Amino acid sequence: MAAAGGGSSCFVLGASGETGRVLLRELLARRAFARVTLIGRRRLSLGEAEAAVEQAVVDFERLGEHAAAFQGHDVGFCCLGTTRAKAGADGFVRVDRDYVAQAAELARAGGCKHFILQSSRGANAQSRFLYLRVKGEVENLVQAVGFDHCTILRPAVLLCRRQESRPMEWIAQQFLGAVARLFPTAYSVPVEMVARAMVACALQPGEGKVKVLENRAIHELGKAVPQQGT
């Protein structure tokens, strides 16, 4: 896969999370961007990778005061998110919708051309379910920002070895991990596929302003990207 242009720059929101961590690994291994900036609420210990990235620590409740962190990036990746169990309903809305939408606005103002959002299967602003409604709302808000390209990925259940304990998700993963052997693209997707699909979209945004990738398309795109070392 071709690397992005020599002077290109990207930022990642949510790089400490399960998808974001793998995304960062992919970005660095493929040398996809000349400059990679992690924007998060805390500084990450990245070992050897530390020298290869810049980190901007921001207060998401005062994101407007951190416009500089969003300046001068070509592409923005967003893997930010929390859960209702962790943050409560209001906290979930704040993180998954408000923080993301504000970040997208700042990114656009800073010159970002392509915003790549990890949303969710079933996202729908009219849904009765808070999770799906908020995901639908944030998709609409990010699209309305007016990027040259806006890519929205809608993965099904993420398959990963989550560091944080989420018992219900763990049970779903065990079940769906087994089902995935029969129906690999139906109900789940490994985070590696999501990360590779995100990188592929960044490097080849294609035609059109808005692209929505459902779970099957994420699998197809993720599979088409050669694994590192092959």
Active site residues: 131, 135
Does position 120 bind ligand NDP by CB under 6 A? Answer: yes
Residue 55 CB, shortest distance to ligand NDP, in Å, is 12
Closest CA to 12 of 98, 73, 95, 59: 73
Interface characters, 151-170, with ligand NDP (x: CB under 6 A): ----x-xx----------x-
Does position 37 bind ligand NDP by CB under 6 A? Answer: no
Does position 41 bind ligand NDP by CB under 6 A? Answer: yes
Q: Which residues pair with 57 in a beta bridge?
A: 40
Strands 9-13 and 149-153: unpaired
Does position 95 bind ligand NDP by CB under 6 A? Answer: yes
Strands 157-159 and 54-57: unpaired
Residue 194 CB, shortest distance to ligand NDP, in Å, is 8
Burial class (CB in 10 A: 0-12, 13-18, 19+), 37: buried
Q: Dihedral through CA 197, CA 179, CA 172, CA 127, nearest 10? A: 60
CB 117, CB 147: distance < 8 Å: no
Residue 121 CB, shortest distance to ligand NDP, in Å, is 6
Applying CB under 6 A, the residues found at the interface with ligand NDP are 14, 16-20, 40-42, 60, 79-82, 95-96, 118, 120, 155, 157-158, 169
